[in-house]
Structure 1
Amino acid sequence: MDMTTKGAGTIIAIALIVSIATQIFYMATLGGPQPSDPAAGVTHADVVAYFTERWAEIAAVWMIELAAFALIAIAALVAMTRGAPMSWAWGALALAGAFNLIQLGMGLAMFKPAATGGAELQPVLDIIVSGAFFFYFLAKALIGLAGIGFGLALWREPSAMTKVVAISSILVGAAAAIANIATLPQGMALIFPAGATGTAAALFTGLAAMLVARQAGAKE
């Protein structure tokens, strides 16, 4: 059975919400390597312990995100090719899904081997992590841009509730796009504002995408 435009929007909204939930869960329960000696900070031994002892949990969360972003990329391409409004926004969302697949693939395939391969590989791990986060920030920026597009499409609708979603998607999307584009050349320096705005944009972009897709699907 072919995926409908309405179905594509629903899948995107659900998948984005799943990605938000997994990010919150990851930060709350896993978070990253913790120093065994707070005075010494995070050492290479702490990094090794983190990726060795908690790898099963890390991999499970990332695999769920991998599936979610694969669905987002596919569903966005379906909506775009079916002629849903704001085709460039669907294209941005499809690219965001693809770039998230790259950064998650780097994490799953490269983080643990580089972390546990010896202290001499720490610079290599730092490079890999920076590269993965570059795609992470790029994907967040694209989600923000997609949110702007969907918000503009919804702004034409007469419903007050739809206009609330539209303006929220535009404003939060713009904040995410600006923050994450600004972060790209900065590395990890602005990770928290970039990540926070990007996560908020994912929520409103998902809602806006679902509404745009429903309207387009009603005309099919």
Structure 2
Amino acid sequence: MIFTIRRAAVIVAAALFTAVLSQVFYITIVSNTEGETLRRITWMTEMALFTIPATVGIVLAAKDRAHPLAWAAIAVGGMVNLIQVAMGLAMFGPAREAADAAVFQTVLQGAFFLYFHGKAMFGLAAIGFGIAALRGGAIAKGLGIAGILSGGAAAILCLLGMADGMAWVQPAGAAGTLATAMLALLIVFTGRGQAE
């Protein structure tokens, strides 16, 4: 298969949108379920999904002359989310078993700092693609405005989360998830007709 910007962008958008669905599934189903099996399966799925924008985003940042900074933000967001999920998979269990409860809280706070950072980067990318969409017709402009607003809200709320911690998990997480969904939609919409 020959690499094209359009094809790679659609793959990244699909991975981001599937990650959004996975996070909604986690909040609505997994977080209310006993046991670790479903949680670990969900996190392993997210790990695989975040690997795609982390790797493909680097290539697209170099190849796509129209959106290099947005693709760089997507690559960084993917990498940070990948590390955050890895902390949950590899560190939460041992940290919970530590004699000092502060050990788990330290790991948890670190994971959520990265969670906020990753969502903020996707929010910034949504702003970038949203600005690009403003050059199109009425539908493109509407999507662009939605991307800019959702991305801005995610960036601000996630910055507050990075500064202040767990009190911002729900508003920042919701805003970041919405911005990621808008980002996926904007990637597909702004890339129509792009072949190389």
What TM-score, normalized to structure 1? 0.84
Contact 1:9 1:211 in 2 (8 A): no
1:94 aligns with 2:94: no
2:15 paired residue number: 15
In terms of mean alpha carbon deviation, does 10-19 or 168-177 score higher? 10-19
User: Once the two structures are aligned, what percentage of the paired residues are identical?
Assistant: 39
TM superposition shift of 1:203: 0.6
Structure 2 gap segments, 5+ residues each = none
1:178 paired residue number: 156
- Which residue, 160, 172, 181 being the options, matches 1:194? 172
1:135 paired residue number: 114
Contact 1:9 1:214 in 2 (8 A): no
1:75 paired residue number: 56
Measured in 2, the distance between the counterparts of 1:156 and 1:181 equals: 29
SS class of match (2:162): helix
- Which residue, 60, 72, 85 being the options, matches 2:66? 85
1:126 aligns with 2:105: yes
1:163 paired residue number: 141
Measured in 2, the distance between the counterparts of 1:135 and 1:178 equals: 15
Measured in 2, the distance between the counterparts of 1:15 and 1:125 equals: 30
**Which whole-Å deviations, capped at 9, do the CAs of 1:90-119 have from their partners, x for residues lacking one?**
10010000000010011100011222x25x
SS class of match (2:31): coil
Higher gyration radius (CA): 1
**Which whole-Å deviations, capped at 9, do the CAs of 1:117-153 have from their partners, x for residues lacking one?**
25x2421011001000000000011110000000111
- Which residue, 89, 94, 106 being the options, matches 1:113? 94
- Which residue, 35, 40, 52 being the options, matches 1:59? 40
Measured in 1, the distance between the counterparts of 2:14 and 2:67 equals: 20
